[in-house]
Structure 1
């Protein structure tokens, strides 16, 4: 009975708990970002295809006892890749990056990655109504 009472109290306390740090922080990039399954709600013209690729060594967390424990890059590495891609787009004068795709592979020693996207410029309202 004591365990049941303790479990009920713990559920009530943890159910009322609100985290102080919001876990849904959205990263802000220098251009708008739209993944492969998303589209901007305004017309745009493509500027250039962009790509970021490379390899990083496996971490100790990813391999142990000569076995693969986890694959791919962590969220921090993915955000860094996307930041690099958006900086390339901004240097080209782009307003957005569309059709962003992330692909990775894992070998026995490295995580490889490729992130691609298309730098685009939004069309002005007059351009879209004139056409």
Structure 2
């Protein structure tokens, strides 16, 4: 048996999700980007919901990143995030499709050209 990792114990998923077993929508993936909407925090939120909102105060994170920070399963984060999206507190964006990603070789060529103009 491997030793338990340092830090606080992981919250059981059924506790973190307020006993919900599945998200209300099936649009969340591991790379779905979550962003906080507005700066207010209504009363009556569960601790995982509050922690997620505090994490997103600094900027957007993917579901996998939130899962690592909160030490919850990806599925549990999807359930918690879904409830916050439904409440209008969090915005969820699908990952950028492969076809729409920026071509890095083109950007590197532009950078080399700009450096040549500046230093050449």
**TM-score bracket relative to the smaller structure:** under 0.3
| Larger-gyration structure (1/2) | 1
Pick the structure with more strand per residue.
1
Give the alignment's TM-score, normalised by structure 2: 0.23
Higher helix share: 2
